Chain A
Amino acid sequence: MINQLSWKVGGQQGEGIESTGEIFSIALNRLGYYLYGYRHFSSRIKGGHTNNKIRVSTTQVRSISDDLDILVAFDQETIDVNYRELNEHGIIMADARFGPKSPEDSKAALYAVPFTEIATELGTSLMKNMVAIGATSAVLDLDINVFEEVVQEIFGRKGQQVVEKNMEAIKTGYEYMKEKLGGSIETMQLEKADGQKRLFMIGNDAIALGALAGGCRFMAAYPITPASEIMEYLIKKLPALGGSVIQTEDEIAAVTMAIGANYGGVRALTASAGPGLSLKMEAIGLSGITETPLVIIDTQRGGPSTGLPTKQEQSDLMAMIYGTHGEIPKIVMAPSTVQEAFYDTAEAFNLAEEYQCPVIVLTDLQLSLGKQTVEPLEFDKVEIRRGKLQTGELPEIEGKGYFKRYEVTEDGVSPRVIPGMKNGIHHVTGVEHEETGKPSESAANRIAQMDKRFRKVSNIKFNTPVYKNAPHEEADLLIVGFNSTRGAIEEAIGRLEKDGLKVNHAHVRLIHPFPVDDILPLVKSAKKIAVVENNATGQLANIMKMNVGHAEKIYKLLKYDGNPFLPHEIHSKCKELF
């Protein structure tokens, strides 16, 4: 019996690879297994190799595995590209149709299974994916009835006949493989899962759900990988809540529309990836100087320019902190799990209103798109806090005076009113302005307003700015990361500890303002610090050096080939430090 296993299905894009993985995982998720998915895809719709790797475990996993147990191949390319990942028990099940060949140095058992032929005999070759799911079930000794419910949900609206045909395809694949193997494969018997029904979602789902829970009722966005799912979800859900999503003409329109909507009094969102964020920069400064709340999601992908649009990277960090000309207060947060993506997005709306500044929620492609099992999202943990937003009647203002929207206050935050409120009239401008919003070039006023704006975030209250797993008072190594690397780091730490090293882990969740006080003790008490990040220049490492010093013991552990870190890569690179 094993407690975890990795399964990969691959073929040409547009062949249904995605839905094969989807059906397989939803069913296993409902049995109570924890899943973690990784999609390898390109920005073409049809053609090009694509694969979906799914890790199945009886305990929570947040990383893809180093190796692979089962490879389901719909073409030779899938075998050639992926066979090296297979472990010593690994097997390949390939469609007999293309006459699969085992690479010379492959040790994996290769089974040619007539996926297409069985499917065609049953009615349509489209069902070859179902045959493959059936064959997989035979290997794992899964009860194929678990797929019944999922198949019903997916094909139900096409009629009962389609449902039955698809189930038959699964069954035939199952029986074929059972017979071929003379049973199942012993080394691939998964321990039974706990049967708990858990959420199965991508980070973008959690972000969109977090936005709804956090009171977001308007979104303006322009489609881009890997952010589009956020708008697509809200397009489906916001109308029922009276809200709306506008697909704008470009990202500049998206961000300025969101600024207008926030100024108008609704909690509004925009989301994009690097290229879109580059276009939004001037407007982010506008939000900063006009102190208009704004929530932006940046789902990082491989840059610069179009870069690697469907690949993992964490290279927007510096741009998100420093992007926009001039200087503004800004909050940049980086959830490290899907759960956190939910809570953080909801919280971003509170922070944006409390501190009246732009809040960027940073994710990366793997966190945004990796479909995984998620522990319950606790709705009652979500609060709505609107800061100094004025409600009720405002006192009358003498003469033709304006409301002091930019009043210089001790905490830097000024009372905020929204258009439509009587006695609240004031001016808003991206030009430097005095307390009522009227333009002013006075030196004294400039200093007063700049200081006031920065005072707002100098004492920011943020729940858990650094996720810590730091059992050691004195550590040999502190590993630091952000966003989706958390799972791979955790697994690497498990192995490093087995090797006898004392390792602490810090995952930075508030990137800016950098939580110096929170992380400094861990930095001080570690002999060496490895900063793990998916970029080529070590942006987080540099931010660490700038903020907490100790440059002499900070090491950059980088990967920028477009793929997420594997646990063994972090493990071996960390060992090299000793």
Chain B
Amino acid sequence: MATFKDFRNSVKPNWCPGCGDFSVQAAIQRAAANVGLQPENLAVISGIGCSGRISGYINSYGFHGIHGRSLPIAQGVKMANRDLTVIASGGDGDGFAIGMGHTIHAIRRNINVTYIVMDNQIYGLTKGQTSPRSAAGFKTKSTPMGSVEQAISPMEMALTAGATFVAQSFSTDLKDLTALIEAGIKHEGFSLINVFSPCVTYNKVNTYDWFKENLTKLSDIEGYDSSSRETAMQTLMKHNSLVTGLIYQDTERKSYQQLISGYSETPLAQADLTLDQQYFDKLVTEFI
């Protein structure tokens, strides 16, 4: 059995000391070990941003693609090899700005991929511009007078897009976060986990202390029912989406792969690439 140490590699992350992304990396490594994965059976696909570097810091197969496109790449990998565990990851700019279209469609498509967003409400890699997660009024290099646009709520959006697994966490809650990632991996279908992962260098508003003060744990809400979409939506609205824990899970709906017809039980990557002559002849006859 692999332990979380087996998911460590020799690369030293180039994140700023104190960056929230360190804990997200640790949580993924622990969750992978806890669900019994071997490093070669995990593929971490990431976008571009400080957070996107994460796929290079985990001892597993990793693909660091282009800005905003971790999800289509990850879905392609999963379609090619259904036996792999596929995690997609990136920043809030990656997933909710340039990649927002893919996020919504990955949610409704419901391919069995776990998507972990490191949400720091700012653009880190490009040195501090506003993000679709920045609150109105937030001053950044690109919004010196304060942002006049509204922040989106990815959790509410996911619910309306038909998500089957929606969770939110805070990078310092390593235990909770690890458990959520494990649950996401085990979920049959698409799982979205938004993680508040503070940028200590460019976001002086949404700091560790700010989150500690403003976050509510769903486990502290008595009788919270994560199987009810209605409760989930109401709770998010009531708490301005500042909650952590498993917000919603639909265990009934089938995943994309379970629903499509003919899809091979064995990974497509192992498919026999040759057709037999007879089969080919049959195909050709349709054109006569």
> Does chain B have a CB within 8 A of A177?
no
Complex: A239 Cα to B268 Cα, angstroms? 11
Known: A199-B288, A260-B77, A418-B269. A424 touches B40 (CB 8 A): yes
Q: Is A212 a contact of B283 with CB atoms below 8 Å? A: yes
> Does chain B have a CB within 8 A of A286?
yes
Complex: A29 Cα to B267 Cα, angstroms? 41
* Residue from A199, A420, A426, A431 in contact with B83 in the complex, judged by beta carbons closer than 8 Å: A420
Pick from B59-67, B150-158, B193-201, B211-219 the stretch touching chain A. Answer: B59-67
Pick from B22-30, B224-232, B256-264 the stretch touching chain A. Answer: B256-264
Q: Kindly state the interface size class of chain A when it binds its partner.
A: 35 or more
- Cβ–Cβ < 8 Å partners of A258 in chain B: 76
Complex: A243 Cα to B65 Cα, angstroms? 24
The interface bits of chain A over 233-261 (1 if a CB of B lies within 8 angstroms of the residue's CB, else 0) are 00001111111101011101110111111
Q: Is B78 a contact of A264 with CB atoms below 8 Å? A: yes
Nearest opposing residue in chain B for A402, CB measure: B9
> Does chain A have a CB within 8 A of B49?
no
Q: Kindly state the interface size class of chain B when it binds its partner.
A: 35 or more
> Does chain A have a CB within 8 A of B145?
no
Q: Is A218 a contact of B268 with CB atoms below 8 Å? A: yes
- Cβ–Cβ < 8 Å partners of B205 in chain A: none
By CB atoms of chain B within 10 A, which of A240, A257, A283, A402 has the most? Answer: A257
- Cβ–Cβ < 8 Å partners of B288 in chain A: 29-30, 197-200
Q: Is A419 a contact of B102 with CB atoms below 8 Å? A: no
Nearest opposing residue in chain B for A426, CB measure: B61
- Cβ–Cβ < 8 Å partners of A290 in chain B: 63
Q: Is B280 a contact of A429 with CB atoms below 8 Å? A: no
Nearest opposing residue in chain A for B62, CB measure: A427
> Does chain B have a CB within 8 A of A213?
yes
Known: A205-B287, A420-B84. A212 touches B76 (CB 8 A): no
- Cβ–Cβ < 8 Å partners of B287 in chain A: 199-201, 205, 374
Q: Is A400 a contact of B40 with CB atoms below 8 Å? A: no
Known: A200-B287, A420-B83, A427-B56. A260 touches B63 (CB 8 A): yes
How distant is A415 from chain B, measured CB to nearest CB, in Å?
15
Q: Is B277 a contact of A256 with CB atoms below 8 Å? A: no
The interface bits of chain B over 101-122 (1 if a CB of A lies within 8 angstroms of the residue's CB, else 0) are 1101100010000000000000
> Does chain A have a CB within 8 A of B3?
no
- Cβ–Cβ < 8 Å partners of B39 in chain A: 425
> How many CB-defined contacts (below 8 Å) exist between A and B?
210
**What DSSP secondary structure best describes chain B's contact surface?**
mixed
Q: Is A380 a contact of B273 with CB atoms below 8 Å? A: no
Complex: A386 Cα to B43 Cα, angstroms? 22
* Residue from A29, A243, A424 in contact with B271 in the complex, judged by beta carbons closer than 8 Å: A243
Q: Is A240 a contact of B262 with CB atoms below 8 Å? A: yes
- Cβ–Cβ < 8 Å partners of B273 in chain A: 214-215, 217, 267, 384
* Residue from A257, A266, A283, A429 in contact with B269 in the complex, judged by beta carbons closer than 8 Å: A266
- Cβ–Cβ < 8 Å partners of A198 in chain B: 288
Q: Is A248 a contact of B105 with CB atoms below 8 Å? A: yes
The interface bits of chain A over 258-280 (1 if a CB of B lies within 8 angstroms of the residue's CB, else 0) are 11111111111000000000000
> Does chain A have a CB within 8 A of B274?
yes
Q: Is B40 a contact of A266 with CB atoms below 8 Å? A: no
Nearest opposing residue in chain A for B257, CB measure: A244
- Cβ–Cβ < 8 Å partners of B66 in chain A: 256, 282-283, 286, 430
Known: A241-B271, A439-B56. A257 touches B72 (CB 8 A): yes
How distant is A399 from chain B, measured CB to nearest CB, in Å?
8
- Cβ–Cβ < 8 Å partners of A239 in chain B: 260-263
Complex: A530 Cα to B83 Cα, angstroms? 55
Q: Is B275 a contact of A212 with CB atoms below 8 Å? A: yes
* Residue from B48, B80, B102, B284 in contact with A268 in the complex, judged by beta carbons closer than 8 Å: B80
Q: Is A422 a contact of B101 with CB atoms below 8 Å? A: no
> Does chain B have a CB within 8 A of A220?
yes
- Cβ–Cβ < 8 Å partners of A29 in chain B: 288
- Cβ–Cβ < 8 Å partners of A426 in chain B: 61
Q: Is B76 a contact of A259 with CB atoms below 8 Å? A: yes
Q: Is A213 a contact of B280 with CB atoms below 8 Å? A: yes
Q: Is A260 a contact of B284 with CB atoms below 8 Å? A: no
> Does chain B have a CB within 8 A of A54?
no
Known: A244-B262, A379-B277, A439-B56. A420 touches B267 (CB 8 A): yes
- Cβ–Cβ < 8 Å partners of A263 in chain B: 63, 73, 76-77, 80
Q: Is A253 a contact of B80 with CB atoms below 8 Å? A: no
By CB atoms of chain B within 10 A, which of A256, A286, A402 has the most? Answer: A256
Nearest opposing residue in chain A for B10, CB measure: A400
* Residue from A257, A421, A423 in contact with B75 in the complex, judged by beta carbons closer than 8 Å: A257
- Cβ–Cβ < 8 Å partners of B73 in chain A: 256-257, 259-260, 263
* Residue from A252, A261, A400, A422 in contact with B9 in the complex, judged by beta carbons closer than 8 Å: A400
Complex: A240 Cα to B263 Cα, angstroms? 8
Q: Is A252 a contact of B72 with CB atoms below 8 Å? A: yes
Q: Is A250 a contact of B101 with CB atoms below 8 Å? A: yes
Q: Is A420 a contact of B40 with CB atoms below 8 Å? A: yes
- Cβ–Cβ < 8 Å partners of B262 in chain A: 238-244
Write the residues of chain B forming the contact surface with A, with a CB cutoff of 8 angstroms. 8-11, 38-41, 43, 45, 48, 55-56, 59-66, 69, 71-81, 83-84, 101-102, 104-105, 109, 260-264, 266-271, 273-275, 277, 280-281, 283-284, 287-288
Q: List 9 A-B contacts (CB under 8 A).
A: A243-B262, A252-B69, A253-B69, A254-B72, A260-B79, A267-B273, A419-B81, A424-B40, A428-B62
Q: Which 6 pairs between the two chains have the least Cβ-Cβ distance?
A: A260-B76, A239-B262, A264-B80, A242-B264, A265-B269, A215-B273
10 additional A-B pairs beyond A264-B81, A425-B40, beta carbons within 8 Å, are: A217-B268, A218-B79, A239-B261, A253-B102, A256-B66, A261-B76, A266-B80, A418-B81, A419-B40, A420-B81
